[in-house]
Structure formats: structure tokens, C-alpha cells
Structure 1
């Protein structure tokens, strides 16, 4: 049984492990292996502690827990890119699940809770970016109601440029 709660500082090491192992599993064959091999849990934890300690940070972090402790993490907040259309847009910045637990509904549970919290903050839609070659993630988000909206951006990893696609979905008020 998994439950979701707000992340706290004691979760940072576990979240960094989930994120780094998640990157290394999900992006193998997509992101250059040299980049993935250079990622460390310790380095990520230092960066995450810095982000987490910012007094004016607008992002929210949730963790999914089972009997082992944190097994999934999602980070979301206001959309960082210009979006056309009515209403405020939130953004899912990151969503990772322990690689050995993918496919067990943990990511879906985290995403649902993030959507609930975004709606309570007044966001009418949610956006996210996904690597175009990450077919598994694209299918996951499409099943969750996201659609590619035509926006793209490029990111470089060890001098290799990869394209990301922006996806978005409407956050409907429950009962409508």
C-alpha cells in the first residue's frame, strides 16, 4: 500500500536516489551514457537540499511511500514557459518512481495528487515536458489525459541535442 505526503528535508537522500536511478533507467539509450554515468546521488542531494531550502520557492514536492520509505517523487508548481489560452497553468517539473516499481500505479497516484493540489491552487491546466524519444513516458502521460501541444525545446546532454515535447491537459473541477 502506497500513500502520498508532502516531502520533507529528511526525504532528500531517498528522493535523490529515486531521481538518479530513474534517469539512469528511463533514459538509457536516449541520453548519452556518459551523462547518465556521471550522475551521482550525492551530487543530486546537494543540489536538491539547496533547492528545498529556498524560502520563496514556488514548487511543491510530494513523495509516495511504502513500507521501505519513499519510492516515488513528483515536483510541480507554476508553469515556467509562456502558454497561450485562458487561466493559470501549472507544470509538472519532475516525476520519478523507483525503477523496480514502475507499472504498479505509483506514478499515477503521485500525478493524481499533484493535479488535485494544482486545482486547489487555482491552476486550470497542467503542462510538462517529455523527451520525444521517451515513448514509455509519453504513453503514460497520454493515458493520464495529456496531449502534445506542438511546442518543442532542445536540451543538450554531453554535446548531444535532444528534443523535448510539451504536453498539457485541462484540470477539471471534480464533478464536471
Structure 2
């Protein structure tokens, strides 16, 4: 049975393993191994995602199947370059492992993310998504997100284009 709850500091190691697996499942073939390893260590190593579990600026919601993390969404302050509304919030990461895709996990996590945003006074949600991740684009567009520009996204030494997307709440 799939359950949902806020992440706790103790979830750090398991969340790191799950995030590495999900990113590699989705994007692993796009990058040289050295770039992929560098990104995974920076984003999901001890100084990355696990360290944010104790940071009050971030909230991470987990999807679990028999206490095993199968998905998560991370929300926090907007860090993209540029001028942003003070009542904007960023959707940083949104991952669901492949075996659970298409089973309603992403919809449940998105419902939580939008509710969390509204409850924290946000008037818009900002995110970035890899330009060629068409499945993710379609998912976000179903919720009303619209492209508003491009931003560089670094994976090791590789620099990709991401679309910036915004949802006005």
C-alpha cells in the first residue's frame, strides 16, 4: 500500500539512494559517467538533498510503498537567477521510480505540492524541466504550468537547457 508523509532527517540515506536511482533511470544515458557521478554526488550526496531535510526552508514529501521510498517532491524558496515575486515558491525535484509511474503517485505528490504552496501563501510555483523530457512537460502542463524561458542546468561538465515553467495559483 502506498502512503505519503513528510520526510524526516533519518530518511536522508534512503532518500539519497532513491533520488540517485530515479535520476539515473531517467537521464543516465545522456551523460558521460564522470559527469553523472559528479552530479549525483553534489545533488544527492550528504551535502545535497539529505542535508536539506533539516533545513527549515525546504519541505520534502515522500511516497512510500511498504516503508520504501518510491517518490518525492521538494519545495522551497526560488533560487533561479532573476527577479521573482516574494510570494513565489520553487518545485525543486519531483521524482517517482519507474515501476510506480502511471499509478497515481505523481498526481498525489503534485496535489500535495500545490496545497503546500497555497498554505504557505505562494501565488506562483516555479520549476525547471529538461527540454527533452516531454513526459514531464505534458504532466506539468496538465496542471497549468506554462513555459516562461530557458535556464542552463549543469550535470558535471555537461550543460543542458531546461525550460523554466510557472503556474499562477
Which TM-score band applies after superposition, normalised by the shorter structure?
A: 0.7 to 0.9
Unaligned runs of 5+ in 1: 172-176
Partner of 1:167: 165
Deviation (angstroms), 1:83: 4.5
Deviation (angstroms), 1:68: 4.1
Deviation (angstroms), 1:155: 2.5
Partner of 1:154: 152
Name the TM-score, length of structure 2 as normaliser: 0.84
Partner of 1:102: 101
The 2-side partners of 1:64 and 1:154 are apart by 29
Partner of 2:20: 20
Q: Which has the larger radius of gyration?
A: 1
RMSD: 2.4
Q: Secondary structure at the match of 1:103?
A: coil
Structure 2 matches for 1:14-93, cutoff 5 A? 14-36=14-36, 44-47=44-47, 48-54=49-55, 57-81=56-80, 82-83=82-83, 88-93=87-92
Q: Secondary structure at the match of 1:104?
A: coil
The 1-side partners of 2:13 and 2:50 are apart by 9
Q: Secondary structure at the match of 1:46?
A: coil
The 2-side partners of 1:16 and 1:123 are apart by 28
Distance change in 2, residues 1:84/1:17 (3 Å):
closer
Name the TM-score, length of structure 1 as normaliser: 0.81
Distance change in 2, residues 1:46/1:37 (3 Å):
closer
The 2-side partners of 1:13 and 1:24 are apart by 17
The 1-side partners of 2:39 and 2:159 are apart by 18
Q: How many matched pairs?
A: 166
Q: Which whole-Å deviations, capped at 9, do the CAs of 1:89-136 have from their partners, x for residues lacking one?
A: 111011111222122121221111011011011001111001112122
Distance change in 2, residues 1:153/1:106 (3 Å):
same
Partner of 2:11: 11
Distance change in 2, residues 1:22/1:120 (3 Å):
same
